[in-house]
Amino acid sequence: MKLNFNFAVVSDLHIALPHTIWDEPNRFHLVEVSIPAFEQILAQLAENPPDFLLLPGDLVQHGERENHQWLADRLAKLPFPTYVVPGNHDVINRWGNTDKTGEHGGKGKGRIALRDFPQIYQAFGYADGQQLYYQQEILPGVHLIGLNSNAFDADGEQIGTGLIDDEQLAWLDDQLARLADKFVMVMVHHNTLEHLPGQSKTKLGQRYMIRNAPDLVSRLQKGHVPVAFTGHLHVQDIAQAGDFYAITTGSLVSYPHPYRLMSLTTDQQGRYQLQVKTQRIESLPEWPTLQTTSKHWMSDRAFPFMLKLLTDPPISLSLKQAKTYAPQLKDFWATVAAGDAKVNYPELPAAAQAYFHRYNAIGADGQPRLIDNHTVLTLGSA
Ligand SMILES: [Fe+2]
Ligand SMILES: [Fe+2]
């Protein structure tokens, strides 16, 4: 089947109405730009409307019902369909502002419960308004599967990593068997493949992954699903495992404020070619130098994070050494977040240099492979 369509991906919007914004000076995310930045993207999309828009989770700042409602109302006014999945910031606690017995009040005040999510976003993937995952034919012959990677413990608290539960995996097996001859894309908040070196082995990296990602990815590969769209990491990266691509999109509210414009076409040999382009919010009326301001914002807050990275294994520098080197690394995280990273710290001890070298965008052949922001990927064939 010949396919030809355009779509956009905006991730980790962390929508925050001004009066809901947390008064936290060390906050990593510039949530104040969420609404004006999203409006700028929508204005641009209106000029050349995509066939659909994907939002892979962390839709709001921190589970606030009024921020969710603002977004759902805004999406309802768009001239093209939008599909969403929940992120860890969308449902903070399984029961939201009720406890297990349904009593209101307590620390979750004003926040939605897990079961509210598919109701609020019923028009944006969750046709029945109840099930936390879905499959839809979004264009003739094109199917989207939206998964829920949030998981909660017996007290209703998040488990701290992504997880696709057994019930969902069984459902997925069934869907993929039925869609064997269709073009299927998946959207899920937490990462399906490693986007950072050793991500699934470090404590810091594991938080961003689906704990049972191999169980999911092996199913997707077997079902010939060529691509998954994720968020959560706030980094621009495209990872590959065989014929399967994991495209993670950085956050709208952190440097470099990226979003993706995609087009899928069928070439003369019948192969599906996905063209990926990345744009950035360069400036906003109240943020005329957004790119520079935001990079500084991130670098300023990166110091404690860099100290931890330098003192933890495998680098394991002493705190004194780490304090000497950390200032030179202040832009490291911003460079990684932008995708297609190129870093080199010749002043660092050799072991630390070797560690940071692994973050460079280099292919299996040792040559630079810059595919995180602009590329064309072959996603199977008709
Ligand atoms: Fe996020
Ligand atoms: Fe997240």
Q: Under CATH, what is the fold of the domain 5-283+375-381?
A: Purple Acid Phosphatase; chain A, domain 2 (3.60.21)
Sorted by where each begins, the domain ranges of the chain are: 5-283+375-381, 291-357
Question: What pLDDT is recorded for position 344?
Answer: 93
Q: Please tell me the distance between residue 232's alpha carbon and the centre of ligand 2 in angstroms.
A: 4
For residue 314, the model assigns a pLDDT of 87
Q: Are 108 and 95 a contacting pair, CB within 8 Å?
A: yes
CA of 208 to the centre of ligand 1 (A): 10
Amino acid letter for position 198 = G
Q: Which residues surround ligand 2, an ion (CB under 5 A)?
A: 58, 87-88, 232
Residue at 211: amino acid letter? R
| Per-residue pLDDT at 22 | 85
Each residue of 198-209: pLDDT tens digit?
999 988 899 999
Average pLDDT estimate for 207-226: 98
Greater confidence (23 vs 242) lies with 242
If you average pLDDT over every residue of the chain, what do you get? 94
Length reported for the chain: 382
Q: How high is the pLDDT of residue 105?
A: 44
**Is the pLDDT score of 7 beyond 70?**
yes
Q: Are 317 and 349 in contact (CB under 8 A)?
A: yes
pTM for this model (two decimals): 0.95
Does 123 have pLDDT greater than 80? yes
Report, as an integer, the average pLDDT of 79-99. Answer: 90
CA of 190 to the centre of ligand 2 (A): 7
Residue 21 C-alpha to ligand 1 middle, in angstroms?
Answer: 15
Ligand closest to 191 (CA) is 2
Ligand nearest to the CA of 34: 1
Q: What is the pLDDT of residue 108?
A: 53
Which pLDDT value is given to residue 102? 47
The per-residue pLDDT for 99 is: 47
Question: How far is it, in rounded angstroms, from Cα 355 to Cα 179?
Answer: 42
Determine the distance separating the centroid of ligand 2 and the alpha carbon of 163, expressed in angstroms.
13
Spell out which residues have Cβ within 5 A of ligand 1, the ion.
Answer: 12, 58
Q: In what order do the strands lie in the sheet with 5-9?
A: 82-84, 52-55, 5-9, 258-266, 271-280, 375-381
Ligand nearest to the backbone CA of 60: 1
Q: Per residue in 144-183, pLDDT tens?
A: 999 999 999 999 999 999 999 999 999 999 999 999 999 9
Distance (Å, whole) CA 184 – CA 178 = 11
pLDDT digits (tens, 9 = 90+) for 233-269: 999 999 999 999 999 999 999 999 999 999 999 999 9
**Least confident span in 19-23, 174-178, 370-374, 376-380:** 19-23
Distances, alpha carbon 117 to alpha carbons 64, 93, 127, 184, 353, in Å: 11, 12, 12, 23, 44
Instruction: Note the pLDDT of residue 302.
Output: 86
114: closest CA among 65, 162, 71, 161? 65
Question: If you average pLDDT over residues 344-367, what whole number do you get?
Answer: 92
For the record, the structure tokens of 60 come out as 């709001």
| pLDDT > 90: percent of the chain | 87
Q: Measured in angstroms, how far is the CA atom of residue 279 from the centroid of ligand 1?
A: 18
